[in-house]
């Protein structure tokens, strides 16, 4: 398959692994965070860490949309479905995220809530059009990749004059999360998370471009290499990061040049800016509350904002005490360091959000049998 097979070639992977081993200094450690869950999945699935020399370590970041969703936000969606009797539409993985009181959207569905798993925001809008008797709410989650389609349906709903469609907006922003990691005590003060650079997101960067990462390279002196989601993309990015570190450079480089430009998709950015504005505060699972790190619906589209249409509010809820998702999302712990990893908590019975989506670090490690390979 064009643009897939050639990025999974074993011979080329061995060549890249050899180059990384030759160029990585034997007397130092390189610690790189792959921000995105898509990269975490690729690294586990293709055994990328097995090909790296012992001194090159990968740290999983918080870029999995389902993983960073706090319990309180899932509770809001459940409240809409169970108490306000709306038809709640969302992307499939979201329905399995554990919420308060032993519930999840899937368990709420078993109690009679009308919860629909959809493939696109357009499916939710179509449902509202075909069922004017139902109040349809789209539980919108995700980073910059999924935000433009939500903006499109909000504009369409307004143009159609729909009165039975609204959005529970939980879209979050990548650069804010990277800032939160770089400013976290574990990175800045304690040094428990040594960070020499980032593998930058693929799909998110197609929308926002490579320009937003320049701040991190300049202000924090951390190299960023934007990479595609195939194993050779990731390995090439690691080699580029090793080279930057060796040469004392901290720049933004673009390995995924077949899809990412410096300016990104300006049309999508303008659309998002027209429909959404920054939220003052948003709580992320694991990263706590981060100012200006998420989006809310602008006043012009207030009629389609589920948080204004229904009497619901956000309540902070602590994670399950046994779950280490917060520490894993900050790069402080590895999945197998959680006491219930692979025993009580599995993809079939997730106790935390990182075990739900295939992009979650715990699910990726469990699925591909990678329990303790990385020291
Ligand atoms: S194994 Fe389960 S409970 Fe433990 S950190 Fe991962 S998701 Fe949370």
**Atom 6 of ligand 1, nearest CA residue:** 362
3-state secondary structure of 345: strand
Report which ligand 1 atom has the smallest distance to the Cα of 324: 5
- Residue 228's beta-bridge partner residues? none
Q: How far apart are CA 113 and CA 160, in angstroms?
A: 27
Q: How far apart are CA 296 and CA 151, in angstroms?
A: 11
Q: How far apart are CA 226 and CA 99, in angstroms?
A: 33
- Decide whether any atom of ligand 1 lies within 6 Å of the 363 Cβ: no
Comparing CA positions, the residue from 325, 198, 237, 206 lying closest to residue 48 is 237
- Decide whether any atom of ligand 1 lies within 6 Å of the 323 Cβ: yes
pLDDT in tens, 302-359: 999 999 999 999 999 988 889 999 889 888 899 999 999 999 999 999 999 999 988 8
Q: How far apart are CA 155 and CA 77, in angstroms?
A: 22
3-state secondary structure of 213: helix
- Decide whether any atom of ligand 1 lies within 6 Å of the 355 Cβ: yes
- Decide whether any atom of ligand 1 lies within 6 Å of the 354 Cβ: yes
Q: How far apart are CA 26 and CA 370, in angstroms?
A: 25
Q: How many angstroms does the Cα of residue 38 sit away from the middle of ligand 1?
A: 18
Quote the crossing angle between the two packed helices 231-246 and 37-45, to the nearest 10°.
110
Question: CB-hemisphere CA count at 13 Å for 358?
Answer: 10
Probe ligand 1: pick from 60, 323, 348, 365, max atoms within 8 Å of CB?
323
Q: Average pLDDT of each block of 10 consecutive residues along the chain (375 residues)? A: 81 96 96 94 93 95 92 97 98 92 96 97 98 98 97 98 98 93 80 88 96 93 96 97 98 96 98 97 89 97 98 92 89 92 93 91 89 55
Question: Which residues, 6+ apart, have CB-to-CB distance to 100 below 8 Å?
Answer: 71, 75, 317
Question: Which residues, 6+ apart, have CB-to-CB distance to 18 below 8 Å?
Answer: none
- Decide whether any atom of ligand 1 lies within 6 Å of the 97 Cβ: no
Q: How far apart are CA 287 and CA 257, in angstroms?
A: 30
pLDDT in tens, 156-177: 999 999 999 999 999 999 999 9
Question: Structure pTM?
Answer: 0.93
Q: How far apart are CA 89 and CA 117, in angstroms?
A: 6
3-state secondary structure of 54: coil
- Decide whether any atom of ligand 1 lies within 6 Å of the 157 Cβ: no
Q: How many angstroms does the Cα of residue 358 sit away from the middle of ligand 1?
A: 13
- Decide whether any atom of ligand 1 lies within 6 Å of the 351 Cβ: yes
**Atom 3 of ligand 1, nearest CA residue:** 323
């Amino acid at each position: 398959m064009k643009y897939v097979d050639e990025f999974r070639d074993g011979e080329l992977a061995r060549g890249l692994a050899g180059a990384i081993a030759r160029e990585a200094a034997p007397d130092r450690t390189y610690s790189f965070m792959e921000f995105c869950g898509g990269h975490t999945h690729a690294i586990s699935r293709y055994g990328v860490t097995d090909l790296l020399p012992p001194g090159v370590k990968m740290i999983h970041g918080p870029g999995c949309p389902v993983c960073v969703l706090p319990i309180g936000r899932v509770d809001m969606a459940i409240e809409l479905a169970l108490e306000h009797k709306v038809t709640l539409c969302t992307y499939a993985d979201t329905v399995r995220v554990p919420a308060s009181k032993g519930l999840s959207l899937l368990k709420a569905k078993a109690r009679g809530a009308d919860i629909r798993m959809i493939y696109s925001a357009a499916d939710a809008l179509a449902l509202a059009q075909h069922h004017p008797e139902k109040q349809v709410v789209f539980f919108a989650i995700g980073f910059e990749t999924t935000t433009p389609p939500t903006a499109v349906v909000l504009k369409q709903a307004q143009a159609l004059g729909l009165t039975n469609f609204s959005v529970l907006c939980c879209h979050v922003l990548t650069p804010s999360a990277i800032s939160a990691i770089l400013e976290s005590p574990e990175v800045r003060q304690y040094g428990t998370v040594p960070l020499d650079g980032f593998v930058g997101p693929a799909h998110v960067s197609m929308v926002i471009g490579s320009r937003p990462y320049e701040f991190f390279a300049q202000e924090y002196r951390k190299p960023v290499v934007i990479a595609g989601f195939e194993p050779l993309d990731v390995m090439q990015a690691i080699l580029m990061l090793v080279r930057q570190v060796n040469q004392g450079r901290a720049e933004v480089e673009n390995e995924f040049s077949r899809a990412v430009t410096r300016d990104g998709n300006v049309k999508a950015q303008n659309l998002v800016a027209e429909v959404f504005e920054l939220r003052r505060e948003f709580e992320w699972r694991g990263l706590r509350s981060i100012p200006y790190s998420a989006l809310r619906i602008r006043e012009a589209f207030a009629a389609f904002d589920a948080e204004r249409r229904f009497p619901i509010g956000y309540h902070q809820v602590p994670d399950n005490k046994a779950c280490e998702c917060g520490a894993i999302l900050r790069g402080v712990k590895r999945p197998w360091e959680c006491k219930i990893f692979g025993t009580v908590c599995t993809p079939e019975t997730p106790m935390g959000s990182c075990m739900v989506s295939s992009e979650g670090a715990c699910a990726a490690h469990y699925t591909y049998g990678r329990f303790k390979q990385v020291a």
